[in-house]
Structure 1
Amino acid sequence: MKSLRRKKQSAFTLIEMVIVLFIISLLLLIIIPNINSQKNSAKNKTDAAFKTTLQTQVDMYDGDNPTWGKLQSDNYLSSAQVNKAQKEGYAIENGTVVGPKK
């Protein structure tokens, strides 16, 4: 006669699942604000590098009163750079790049 033993099933208990979900939620609470601050930091560094690039090209320009159009036509800046500079509100004032104006 077969014994009426139940087979032991291995599974997670409800308490174990709750603990795991709690730990995951704590990690997310820590990670998400850091991701946003890293994103803002990267954007600020990118903007500063772009402004530096624009200023370098303005400084290298041979003519008087550089404009975005003149810099592009004389191949100091690409059309993509000029479009981005105009879109983000950079301007050239007395040979100095200022902006972006937000």
Structure 2
Amino acid sequence: MKNQKGFTLIEMMIVLLVISVLLIITVPNIARHSSNINAKGCEGYMKMVEAQVQAYKIDNNNYKTPSFSELVLGGYLKSAEPECPDGTLIDITDEGVVKVNVTETTSTGE
């Protein structure tokens, strides 16, 4: 029985301690940066919708700015919901620029 190989209980406890310390350090950093991650995701989504508006105009030889439902019917967007993945409401201006819908966000108290 003297030549048995394996980890001792102490060694396993040390490994668990190291993993726990790493988790304690990383989880608050991820939580702190989640709002920044959501903002970047919303910016990216708005740019993608703007690009789809331009593609719609080019494909249809039309200078009229489409609505979200027209973009969905044309196959340019998957969802007609005018909001970012984080819930921020957006709107397409007459010029085809996608912006945050200010009238909706101020009425909800955000």
TM range (shorter): 0.5 to 0.7
Question: TM-score if structure 2 supplies the norm length?
Answer: 0.54
Cα distance, 1:38 vs structure 2: 2.7
- In the TM superposition, 1:10-89 aligns within 5 A as 30-62=25-57, 63=62, 64-78=64-78, 80=79, 82-83=80-81, 85=83, 88-89=88-89
The RMSD of aligned alpha carbons is: 3.2
State whether residues 53 and 65 of structure 2, in contact with CA within 8 Å, keep that contact through their aligned partners in structure 1: no
Richer in helix (by share)? 1
Q: How many residues in Structure 1 have an aligned counterpart in Structure 2?
A: 84
In structure 1, stretches of 5+ residues that fail to align are 1-20
For the residues of structure 2 that align with 1:37 and 1:70, how far apart are their CA atoms?
Answer: 38
Q: Return structure 1 stretches of 4+ with deviation > 2 angstroms.
A: 26-33, 84-88
Structure with greater contact order relative to length (CA < 8 Å, sep ≥ 6):
2
Question: TM-score if structure 1 supplies the norm length?
Answer: 0.58
